[in-house]
């Protein structure tokens, strides 16, 4: 048994050393923090049970990793020791008990502060001037990175003091704020460079650049948390007071440092920081409690690698490693398919996680995630857990494939080139999209069914009364059931059914908008109705478009050639309809189930006036108008409606194709853009005159 324990201890020590070097020296993390902590605690337990297993080079007897050979080594005047960790209230209580008994106190006053998730740095100031900056290294010897540290913008090169200590070593953490981390990674990816795994990795990698000009481009920050060697000055013995002194000298310290009394105060501080954590711009992975009084610290002393008077209370791990067992695709209310990882259950972020988002197929490809891989899972606060990266390729891993049919309704899945999101095309029949499709269909700007609001639709769908939009016009067959519902009565049901009956008489533009075709808003629906005049003509053109699209792809020699071939085709002749919108329209009508629902609606009596294509000429036909600023005589909505009644197309953006802009009071950028482009700008008075002339005619 002893031999087995010794072999396991050496195996753990070797693995932890490898992980430590990969993280601190090579800037290439090979495991999550939770995985490292688990292995470290296992080794600690083995050595505690049998002290003969402790070796001088055990990871439990040292801190971090040796300095890289690329930098000069520097011995610390005082060791930069690590902190013991605890992971729950019981372990914190045990630490407090030992501290009270060791110091002979009933209550220990602690200096409490966030535990920054960065990389430790020791700054040596002589007569107030920064002369050296060194990494933690192995706790005794660190790397001289003074040139790089000088580039950190919030780190003072001279202390703000007329009488600084002859020598003082200030210790703290170099961090990369969350708000700057994504921007940094975006720049690296744009330059075809490898992005950083997390802010702490970015801070460490930035500090250890051989070229300090690169470090200067990284938005690093320094947060002071303590003092090492001091010569030529007598500082206050209280740690809280010392941090206040650092702040006076110009060193940035956390604004969340507090003095707390005893275990109750420590627990309350931990809970408060855990709640505040998600909103902080700097990542923290726990809080640190240090005995504030010098007398207490002297009484308690040190163990091999950590002071007895301090402890880090870690938050539940935000990252850990587990196996990706399978991938399901969930369908959202807009039809978007989201890949969801099915994981071997693992405890992370305070809860057991068995599902995590994979975002979309582009992210899966970028991270090269496959079923069967060991993956790093991240969960922060209430954020949905995500698969962050692959930790280890599975022996029998297999690629993740996008389904060709919707897992909910069986309709075709479409992914437009250049888009990250794939979508179900069964907008009118997909159960996952049903509620939102029905709400949109009955909304004010669509069929405007009074009395059938979101709350009623939610209830009717739950009770099985509504599945497709056509079911709205069959609600009269459930009259008795509706009257019997709580909050309803004969009059309210009669009003609802009358509103539904009235909604059958609509316009083609409203009907097209009500269908909820992706990328087709009110203006686009009106343009389609004006151009095609009949629904059958739009449906036929949509069907033909997909055929021509396939032919153009086969025949075109370049992208420009393909776009030229398609730009003159039916759907794209309509103002504002480009290739993307045309494809969405075509895909909607190509889905057989959508066509069946439309036929069902027509069979239930939904209708609109038929306009003869030859009779569509109107005074402002073909003109594009933009309204901006505040109108006094009309609302912009009313003005837009009257312009459209005269055949104009009212849009929200100004371009060279805009015929004129109506500028009301406080018109801003749109008016300026029109003037730069040479587009005519008219006043509200001009508009009223124009409307009066054409409406009278």
Structure tokens at 164: 């600084």
- Taking a C-beta distance cutoff of 8 angstroms, is the pair 373, 324 a contact? yes
The DSSP result for 502-524, as a single string, is HHTB--HHHHHHHTT-TT--HHH
Residue with tokens 């995500």: 386
Is 194 one of the annotated active-site residues of the chain? no
580 CB-contact burial (10 Å; exposed 0-12 / middle 13-18 / buried 19+):
middle
Q: Name 230's Cβ contacts closer than 8 Å, sequence gap at least 6.
A: 165, 167, 168, 169
Q: Name 520's Cβ contacts closer than 8 Å, sequence gap at least 6.
A: 512, 513, 528, 581, 584, 585
Distance of alpha carbon 317 from alpha carbon 322, whole angstroms: 13
Cross-strand pairs, 311: 289
Q: With DSSP H G I counted as helix, E B as strand and the rest as coil, what are the percentages for the chain, rounded to 5?
A: 40, 20, 35
Q: Name 538's Cβ contacts closer than 8 Å, sequence gap at least 6.
A: 512, 528, 532, 585, 589
Distance of alpha carbon 313 from alpha carbon 96, whole angstroms: 12
Distance of alpha carbon 338 from alpha carbon 415, whole angstroms: 12
Long-range contacts at 340-346 (CB < 8 A, ≥ 24 apart): 341/375, 341/387, 343/375, 343/377, 346/320, 346/321, 346/322, 346/377
One of 115, 439, 670, 671 is an active-site residue; which one?
115
Distance of alpha carbon 483 from alpha carbon 466, whole angstroms: 16
Structure tokens at 237: 């013995």
Catalytic positions: 115
């Amino acid at each position: 048994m002893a031999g087995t324990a010794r072999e396991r201890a050496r195996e753990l020590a070797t693995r932890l050393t490898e992980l430590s070097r990969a993280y601190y020296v090579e800037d290439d993390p090979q495991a999550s923090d939770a995985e490292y902590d688990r292995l470290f605690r296992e080794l600690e337990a083995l050595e505690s049970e049998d002290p003969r297993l402790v070796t001088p080079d055990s990871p439990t007897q040292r801190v971090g990793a040796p300095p890289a050979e690329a930098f000069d080594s520097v011995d610390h005047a005082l060791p930069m020791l690590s902190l013991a960790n605890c992971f729950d209230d019981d372990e914190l209580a045990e630490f407090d008990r030992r501290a009270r008994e060791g110091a002979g106190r009933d209550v220990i006053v602690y200096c409490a502060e966030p535990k920054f998730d960065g990389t430790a740095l020791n700054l040596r100031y002589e007569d107030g001037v920064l002369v050296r900056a060194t990494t933690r290294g192995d706790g005794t010897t660190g790397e001289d990175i003074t040139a790089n540290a000088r580039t950190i913008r919030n780190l003072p090169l001279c202390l703000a003091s007329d009488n600084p200590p002859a020598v003082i070593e200030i210790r703290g953490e170099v961090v990369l704020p969350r708000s700057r981390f994504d921007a940094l990674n975006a720049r690296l990816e744009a330059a075809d460079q490898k992005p950083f795994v997390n802010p702490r990795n970015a801070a460490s990698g930035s500090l250890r650049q051989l070229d300090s000009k690169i470090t200067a481009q990284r938005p690093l920050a320094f947060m002071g948390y303590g003092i090492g060697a001091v010569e030529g000055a007598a500082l206050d013995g209280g740690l809280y007071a010392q941090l206040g002194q650092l702040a006076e000298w110009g060193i940035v310290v956390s604004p969340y440092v507090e003095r707390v009394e005893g275990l109750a105060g420590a627990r309350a501080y931990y809970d408060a920081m855990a709640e505040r954590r998600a909103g902080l711009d700097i990542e923290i992975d726990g809080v640190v409690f240090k005995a504030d009084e010098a007398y207490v610290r002297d009484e308690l002393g040190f163990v091999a690698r950590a002071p007895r008077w301090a402890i880090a209370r870690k938050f539940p791990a935000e990252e850990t490693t587990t196996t990706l067992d399978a991938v399901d695709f969930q369908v959202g209310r807009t039809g978007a398919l989201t890949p969801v990882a099915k994981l071997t259950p693992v405890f992370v972020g305070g809860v057991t996680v068995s599902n995590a988002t994979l975002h979309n197929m582009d992210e899966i490809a970028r991270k090269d995630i496959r079923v069967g891989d060991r993956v790093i899972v991240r969960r922060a606060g209430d954020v949905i857990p995500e698969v962050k990266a692959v930790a280890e390729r599975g022996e029998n891993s297999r690629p993740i494939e996008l389904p060709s049919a919707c897992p909910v309704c069986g309709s075709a899945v479409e992914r437009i080139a250049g888009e990250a999101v794939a979508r179900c095309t069964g907008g009118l029949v997909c159960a996952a999209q049903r509620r939102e499709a029905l709400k949109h269909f009955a909304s004010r700007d669509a069929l405007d069914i009074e009395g059938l609001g979101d709350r009623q639709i939610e209830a009717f769908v739950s009770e099985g009364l509504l599945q497709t939009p056509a079911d709205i016009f069959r609600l009269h067959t459930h009259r008795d059931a509706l009257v019997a519902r709580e909050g309803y009565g004969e009059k309210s049901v009669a009003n609802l059914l009358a509103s539904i009956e009235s909604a059958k008489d609509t316009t083609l533009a409203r009907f097209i908008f009500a269908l909820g075709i992706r990328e087709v808003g009110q203006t686009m629906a009106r343009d389609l109705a004006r151009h095609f005049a009949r629904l059958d003509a739009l449906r036929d053109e949509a069907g033909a478009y997909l055929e021509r699209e396939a032919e153009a792809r086969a025949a075109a020699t370049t992208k420009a050639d393909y776009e030229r071939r398609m730009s003159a085709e039916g759907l794209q002749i309509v103002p504002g309809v480009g290739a993307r919108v045309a494809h969405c329209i075509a895909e909607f009508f190509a889905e057989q189930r959508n066509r069946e629902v439309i036929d069902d609606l027509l069979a239930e009596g939904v209708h609109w006036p038929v306009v003869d294509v030859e009779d569509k000429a109107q005074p402002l036909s073909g003109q594009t108008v933009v309204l901006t600023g505040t109108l006094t005589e009309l609302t912009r909505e009313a003005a837009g409606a009257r312009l459209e009644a005269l055949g104009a197309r009212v849009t929200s953006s100004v371009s060279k194709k805009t015929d004129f802009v109506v500028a009301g009071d406080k018109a801003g950028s749109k008016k300026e853009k029109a003037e730069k482009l040479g587009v005519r700008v008219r006043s509200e008075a001009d508009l009223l005159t124009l409307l009066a002339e054409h409406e009278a005619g």
